[in-house]
């Protein structure tokens, strides 16, 4: 510990060089944080998908509807806690560029199944009382500055109303949720849709089933699919996690691309750090020899150089990661394209581990070289 | 003239001594090359996707959908209305037959080669006989055309490349339906190449669509006939449709995705570029510091400061140029023509496309590399030019 001032002095021996090395590492970890955020955004929240929820869709594909009559049959299967259905509405608010997910649900079972959505009780009551009511995510409400009680028109694309061309909704409530949960969705009531749509009565998009015991999920999924086999609408049931994963994989392997870019970035800037350290040790050969003459052990020299390298990596890296975190806190810069915009805690931990590795890797060659210096050679070399 | 000779002499000296400072120069080169690789390859994704969408459809065809529908997927047109649309003026006719095809567009889940355990949304299009004639860019490359009235299908080349079980002779199983693949087709690299085509009536039967369609594709007498065709349909009170030129319909679908990729690409490459400039500054600073005495000597001999300035910036530009070339070549070799597919969110279905490392992107990459080299060299150059001669000469 008493050698900390010595490390500090060495770090700032060449202010200009250290400053730019710190800045390089700062940029590297700022980028790392942003790349991991993009990766998480394109994974569509797979990490928080409920393990106790199954998604049942038409075997042909998600866009082919299912009959409403399946609900009763699903509900009767032992081990099923709640079976509820949802429908993709695909309505447009003012302009197609204002895209957000608007989904038709059954309010009570919906809130039971998605316990991660937090809605104040009086707002729930208002939603249950108003057929045209809708609840919207906090981020969505902020995006369009909606308040409770606002009247929102959506133009139907799939579902046309019997009269007029727009569907009208009242905002009954605003839901909040933990980080990493999509807060940009718009949910409204199935009974309103079914009564007013021009066609397609009794058809729903897909079912979400909450099971009592997650360990029975796989068996239950098979059982459901067998129930509806050879019917006019065969089904395919997966866990919600599996469903989200396969949907995300359709966009492409964004995760792999982001990791490839992050690796390039860390390699590039690791090289900068390593080159700086090597140079700094080379310049100090005679000083290190003097330290050894004074009785510093080989191990102490090794630690001294490594500490310097670690300090630079950790200082630059932490600031970079902090900047990334602050940037992410400001919210999605694309205005709604990336619904989940968070820097997961896991990636922060990985980031710190990478800083340590970068510090060690950049410092190890010069540190070993410094340790192995033979005093007479080193003193002569200058 | 004298200035130029001086500048060139110092620059040549600098460049010749680069090998002696290899490790430090390599840092700058690797940094700049890394930025160019990422910049060019990310933007080549956008270029490829955009090219696939923009190359789709023709200005000589129009697509009719229900008004309010944002894509074929959400549209719906009844059989009688489809017949009405086919009678409108402006459609090219061959004898008595209008070159118009009422079509269905559904998505079926099939495994992708890259992720065989996960289903992908593959678009399937039901067409009428005129649908082939209206699209003259479509040609069969293997097998034969499907027979109308059967469950035979032909598969686009892109779909054949991206999804499993799409070769001639294979049977595609979807729910309770079986489709026989009898041919493969090409369509000038258009989005249609990711689709499976069959008889519209077979598709109506398979998905209980009754006598209804989703769109009508018509070949116009000439690209200018669109107005006549549109006016006739929109003034018909029996119809509630919108008409779009086919190529504009597809080009519109590429915008959101292209913009997202470009934003991400420019953002990441921009930040990386700042970092690479720092790397270049460090390299050039080291280069200047290690030659402080030589520079001071030259200046004592009467070389002008601007010649020294020029030589340092020149060296840095050379490093940037080398990095840019390496990065461009790497990106081209690794990614040009790389086949992949992604989700088109407007139609909710897969689109196969290839990364395109265009000459324009390579040019942008090289320009960016030179810019990074220039900025990276500027400050160390000023420092070199300002070095006080006596103290620099004294320095070890």
Contact B267 A34 (CB under 8 A): yes
- CA B38 to chain A, closest CA, distance in angstroms equals 7
**∠A222-A224-A228 over CA atoms, to 5°?**
115
Q: Residue B394 contacts by C-beta under 8 Å, 6 or more apart in sequence? A: none
Could you tell me if B265 and B368 lie in one domain?
yes
Tokens of residue B277, six digits:
């400039």
Examine residue B244 and state whether it is found in any structural domain, yes or no: no
Cβ pair B278:A20 closer than 8 A:
yes
Query: Are B315 and B354 part of one and the same domain?
Result: yes
Residue A36 has pLDDT above 60, yes or no: yes
Q: What was the ipTM of the complex prediction?
A: 0.87
Q: What are the tens digits of pLDDT across the range B123-182?
A: 999 999 999 999 999 999 999 999 999 999 999 999 999 999 999 999 999 988 999 999
Question: Do A232 and B208 make contact, defined as CB atoms within 8 angstroms?
Answer: yes
Residues B110, B108: Cα–Cα separation, whole Å: 6
- Check pLDDT > 90 for residue A14: no
Query: What chain A residue is nearest to B73 in terms of C-alpha separation?
Result: A158
pLDDT of residue A292: 87
Residue range A363-368: mean pLDDT, rounded: 90
Q: Where are the alpha helices (DSSP H) in B55-102?
A: 79-86
Which residue has tokens 């789709």?
B56
Q: For B121, which of A61, A96, A268 is closest by C-beta distance?
A: A61
The answer to whether residue B248 sits within a structural domain is no
pLDDT at A48 over 90: no
Q: How high is the pLDDT of residue B25?
A: 87
Quick: pLDDT tens for B44-59. Answer: 999 999 999 988 999 9
Note whether B135 and B179 are same-domain residues: yes
Q: Do B74 and A157 touch (CB under 8 A)?
A: yes
CA atoms within 13 A on the CB side of A175: 26
Which of B23, B38, B342 faces A264 most closely, judged by CB atoms? B38
Whether A157 contacts chain B with CB within 8 A: yes
Q: Does B78 touch chain A (CB under 8 A)?
A: no
Mean pLDDT of A27-54: 88
**Is residue B102 domain-shared with residue B234, that is, in the same domain?**
yes
Residues of chain B neighbouring A267 (CB-CB closer than 8 A):
30, 34
Check CB contact under 8 Å for A24 and B275: yes
Helix crossing, B246-290 with B292-300: angle to 10°?
A: 80
The CA distance from B48 to B43, in Å, is 9
The residue that leads in pLDDT, B16 or B105, is B105
pTM: 0.89
Assigned token pair, B322:
């080398």
Tell me the backbone φ, ψ of residue A169, rounded to 5 degrees.
-130, 155
Contact A62 B343 (CB under 8 A): no
Are B20 and B103 contained in the same domain? no
**CB distance B268–A35 less than 8 Å?**
yes
Is B261 inside any structural domain? yes
What's CA A294's distance to the chain center, in Å?
Answer: 53
Scan for tokens 């065809």, then name that residue. B61
Token look-up 């609408």 returns A233
Q: Is a pLDDT exceeding 70 seen at residue A1?
A: no
Check whether B396 has a pLDDT greater than 60.
Answer: no
Region of B148 on the Ramachandran plot (φ > 0 left; ψ -120 to 50 alpha; else beta): beta
Q: Which residues of B touch A35 (CB under 8 A)?
A: 268
**Radius of gyration for the alpha carbons in chain B, expressed in angstroms and rounded:** 30
Q: With respect to residue B279, please indicate whether it lies within any of the assigned structural domains.
A: yes
> Tens of pLDDT along A274-306?
988 888 888 888 888 888 888 888 888 888 889
CA distance to partner chain B, nearest, from residue A190 (Å): 19
Confidence of residue A163 (pLDDT cuts 50, 70, 90): confident
- Is the four-CA dihedral B380, B386, B391, B392 of positive or negative sign? positive
**What pLDDT score was predicted for residue A192?**
96
44-73 in chain B: CB under 8 A from chain A: 68-70, 73
Position A50 pLDDT exceeds 80: no
* Tokens 């699209």, residue located: B135
pLDDT at A8: 86
Mutation target for A interface from B24, B212, B268, B287: give the one with most A CBs within 10 A: B268
Are A59 and B175 an interchain contact pair (Cβ–Cβ within 8 Å)? yes
- Mean pLDDT, range A336-342, rounded to an integer: 81
Structure tokens that stand for B11 in this block:
């620059």
What is the rounded average pLDDT for all residues in chain B? 91
DSSP annotation of A136 reads: E
Give the domain-ending residue among B182, B210, B239.
B239
Is residue B62 assigned to a domain?
no
pLDDT digits (tens, 9 = 90+) for A225-262: 999 998 889 999 999 988 888 888 888 888 899 999 99
Rounded distance, CA B218 to CA B135, Å?
Answer: 9
Residues B213 and B345 in one domain: no
Is the Cβ–Cβ distance between B161 and B88 less than 8 Å? no
Within this chain, do residues B162 and B107 fall inside the same structural domain, yes or no? yes
How many domains in chain B? 2
Query: Are A276 and B282 a contacting pair at CB < 8 A?
Result: yes
In this prediction, residue B384 carries a pLDDT of: 84
**Dihedral angle computed from the Cα positions of residues B353, B359, B362 and B363, in that order, rounded to the nearest 10 degrees:** -140
Task: Please give the C-alpha separations between residue A229 and each of A76, A77, A225, A235, A236, in angstroms, as whole numbers.
Answer: 17, 16, 6, 7, 10
Length of chain B: 396
Looking at residue A98, what DSSP letter applies? G
What is the distance in angstroms between the Cα of B340 and the nearest Cα belonging to chain A? 8
pLDDT at residue B294 in the model: 82
CB contact under 8 A, B68 and A62: no
Q: What would the pLDDT profile of B218-261 be if each residue is shown by its tens digit?
A: 999 999 999 999 999 999 999 999 999 999 999 988 888 888 88
**Residue A11 or residue B166, greater confidence:** B166
Do B199 and B283 sit in the same domain of this protein? Answer: no
Chain A, residues 219-238, CB within 8 A of chain B, namely 230, 232, 234, 236
Query: What residue of A is the nearest CA neighbor of B105?
Result: A63
Q: How confident is the model at residue B348 (pLDDT cuts 50, 70, 90)?
A: confident
B22 touches chain A (CB under 8 A): no
pLDDT at A382 over 60: no
Contacts of A167 (CB under 8 A, 6+ apart): A91, A153, A154, A155, A156, A159, A161, A196
How far apart CA B94 and CA A19 sit, in angstroms, is 75
Which of B214, B239, B264 delimits the end of a domain? B239
Report the alpha-carbon distance of residue B296 to residue B394 in Å, rounded.
Answer: 10
Closest chain B residue to A277, measured at CA: B24
Residues 6 or more apart in contact with residue A377 via CB below 8 angstroms:
none
Residue pLDDT, tens place only, B65-91: 998 888 898 899 999 999 999 999 999
Whether A269 contacts A245, CB under 8 Å: no
**Residue A344 confidence (pLDDT) above 80:** yes
Q: Is A270 helix (H, G, I), strand (E, B) or coil?
A: helix
Residue B296 in this model has a pLDDT that exceeds 90? no
Hey, is A370 helix, strand or coil?
helix
pLDDT band at residue A9, thresholds of 50, 70 and 90? Answer: confident
Residue B245 lies in a domain: no
Q: Which residue has the tokens 């001032």?
A: A5
SS3 A10: helix
Residue with the two structure tokens 């000038």: B188
Residues of A in contact with B340 (CB under 8 A): 252
3-state secondary structure of A56: strand
pLDDT cut 70: percent of chain B above it: 99
Do B38 and A61 make contact, defined as CB atoms within 8 angstroms? no
Q: Using a CB-CB distance cutoff of 8 angstroms, which residues of chain A are in contact with residue B355? A: none
Domain-located, residue B247: no
Question: What are the two backbone dihedrals, phi and then psi, of residue B207, each rounded to the nearest 5 degrees?
Answer: -115, 25
- B128 and B85 inside one domain: yes
Contact A27 B69 (CB under 8 A): no
Token pair of A292 as six digits: 């050894």
Chain A positions in Cβ-Cβ contact with residue B27 (cut-off 8 Å):
271-272, 275
Which of B192, B212, B239 is where one domain is finished? B239
For chain B positions 157-186, those within 8 Å of chain A (CB to CB) are 174-177
* Residue A182 and residue A137 in contact, taking contact as beta carbons nearer than 8 Å: yes
Q: What phi and psi values does residue A228 have, to the nearest 5 degrees?
A: -105, 10
How many residue contacts between A and B have a Cβ separation below 8 Å?
146
- Domain shared by B383 and B261, yes or no: yes
Of A96, A234, A268, the CB nearest to B31: A268
Query: Pick from B168, B384, B225, B230: which is nearest to B297 by CA?
Result: B384
Q: What percent of chain B has pLDDT over 90?
A: 66
**Strand pairing report for A166-175 and A133-137:** parallel
Question: Same domain, yes or no, for B232 and B298?
Answer: no
Which pLDDT score is estimated for A381?
Answer: 64
Three-state secondary-structure class, residue B199 = strand
Residue, of B387 and B274, whose pLDDT is higher = B274
The pair of structure tokens assigned to B229 is 């065709």
For B16-37, the pLDDT digits (tens) are: 877 877 878 888 899 999 999 9
B285 vs A28: CB contact, 8 Å cut-off? no
B108 strand-pairing partners: B122
Same domain, B151 and B221: yes
* pLDDT range class, residue B395, cuts 50, 70, 90: low
Mean pLDDT of B355-384: 94
> Where in the sequence is the domain holding B30, given as residue range(s)?
2-54+253-394
Does the CA dihedral A302-A305-A310-A313 come out positive or negative? Answer: negative
Q: Per the domain annotation, does B63 fall within a domain?
A: no
Which residue in chain A has the smallest CA separation from B31?
A268
* Cα B202-B208-B211 angle, rounded to 5 deg: 70
Residues making up chain A, counted from first to last: 382
B263 in contact with chain A, both atoms CB, cutoff 8 A:
yes
């Amino acid at each position: 510990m008493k050698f900390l001032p010595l490390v500090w002095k060495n770090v700032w021996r060449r202010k200009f060089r250290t400053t730019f090395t710190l800045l390089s590492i700062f940029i590297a970890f700022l980028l790392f944080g942003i790349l991991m955020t993009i990766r998480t955004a394109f994974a569509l929240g797979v990490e928080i998908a409920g393990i106790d929820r199954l998604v049942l869709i038409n075997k042909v594909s998600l866009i082919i509807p299912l009959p409403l009559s399946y609900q009763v049959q699903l509900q009767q299967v032992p081990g099923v806690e709640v079976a509820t259905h949802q429908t993709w509405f695909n309505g447009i608010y003012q302009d197609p560029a204002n895209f957000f997910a608007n989904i038709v649900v059954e309010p009570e079972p919906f809130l039971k199944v998605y316990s991660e959505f937090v809605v104040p009780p009086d707002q729930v009551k208002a939603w249950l009382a108003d057929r045209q009511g809708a609840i919207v995510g906090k981020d969505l409400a902020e995006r369009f500055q909606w308040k409770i009680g606002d009247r929102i028109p959506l133009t139907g694309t799939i579902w046309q109303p019997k009269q007029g061309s727009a569907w009208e909704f009242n905002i009954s409530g605003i839901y909040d949720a933990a980080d990493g949960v999509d807060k940009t969705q718009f949910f409204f009531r199935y009974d309103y849709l079914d009564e007013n749509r021009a066609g397609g009565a009794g058809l729903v998009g897909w079912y979400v089933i909450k099971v009592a015991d997650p360990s029975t999920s796989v068996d239950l999924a098979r059982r459901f699919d067998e129930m509806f086999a050879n019917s006019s609408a065969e089904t395919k049931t997966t866990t919600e996690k599996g469903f989200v994963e396969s949907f995300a994989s359709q966009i492409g392997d964004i995760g792999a691309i982001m990791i490839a870019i992050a690796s390039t970035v860390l390699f590039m800037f690791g090289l900068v750090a390593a080159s700086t350290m090597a140079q700094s040790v080379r310049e100090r050969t005679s000083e290190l020899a003097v330290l050894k003459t004074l009785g510093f052990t080989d191990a102490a020299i090794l630690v001294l150089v490594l500490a310097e390298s670690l300090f630079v990596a950790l200082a630059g890296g932490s600031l970079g990661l902090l900047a990334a975190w602050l940037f992410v806190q400001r919210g999605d810069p694309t205005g709604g394209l990336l619904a989940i915009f968070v820097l997961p805690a896991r990636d922060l931990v990985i980031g710190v581990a990478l800083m340590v590795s970068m510090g060690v890797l950049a410092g190890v060659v010069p540190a070993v070289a410094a340790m192995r210096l033979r005093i007479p050679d080193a003193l002569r070399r200058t | 003239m004298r200035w130029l000779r001086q500048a060139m002499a110092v620059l040549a000296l600098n460049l010749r001594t680069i090998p002696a400072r290899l490790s430090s120069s390599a840092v700058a080169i690797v940094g700049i090359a890394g930025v160019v690789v990422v910049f060019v390859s990310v933007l080549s994704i956008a270029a490829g996707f955009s090219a696939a969408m923009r190359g789709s459809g023709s200005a000589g065809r129009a697509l009719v959908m229900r008004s309010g529908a944002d894509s074929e997927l959400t549209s719906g047109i009844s059989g009688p209305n489809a017949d009405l649309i086919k009678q409108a003026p402006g459609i090219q006719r061959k004898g008595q037959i209008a070159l118009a095809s009422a079509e269905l567009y559904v998505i079926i889940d099939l495994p992708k080669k890259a992720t065989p355990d996960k289903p992908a949304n593959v678009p399937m299009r039901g067409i009428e006989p005129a649908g082939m004639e209206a699209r003259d860019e479509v040609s069969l490359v293997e097998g034969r055309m499907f027979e109308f009235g059967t469950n035979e299908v032909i598969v686009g080349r892109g779909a054949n490349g991206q999804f499993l079980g799409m070769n001639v002779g294979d049977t595609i199983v979807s729910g309770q339906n079986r489709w026989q693949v009898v041919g493969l087709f090409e369509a000038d690299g258009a989005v249609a190449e990711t689709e499976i085509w069959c008889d519209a009536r077979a598709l109506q039967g398979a998905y209980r669509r009754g006598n209804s369609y989703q769109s009508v594709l018509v070949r116009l007498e000439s690209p200018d006939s669109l107005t006549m065709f549109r006016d006739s349909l929109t003034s018909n009170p029996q119809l509630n449709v919108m008409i779009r030129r086919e190529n504009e319909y597809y080009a519109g679908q590429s915008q959101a995705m292209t913009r997202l990729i470009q934003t991400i690409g420019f953002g990441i490459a921009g930040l990386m570029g700042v970092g690479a400039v720092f790397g270049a500054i460090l390299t050039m600073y080291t280069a200047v510091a290690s030659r402080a005495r030589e520079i001071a000597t030259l200046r004592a001999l009467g070389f002008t400061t601007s010649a020294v300035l020029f030589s340092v910036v020149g060296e840095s530009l050379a490093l940037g140029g080398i990095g840019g070339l390496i990065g461009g070549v790497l990106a081209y070799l690794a990614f040009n023509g790389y086949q992949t597919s992604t989700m088109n969110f407007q139609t909710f279905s897969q689109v196969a496309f290839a990364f395109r490392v265009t000459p324009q992107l390579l040019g942008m990459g090289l320009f960016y590399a030179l810019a990074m080299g220039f900025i990276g060299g500027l400050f160390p150059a000023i420092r070199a030019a300002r070095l006080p001669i006596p103290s620099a000469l004294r320095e070890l």
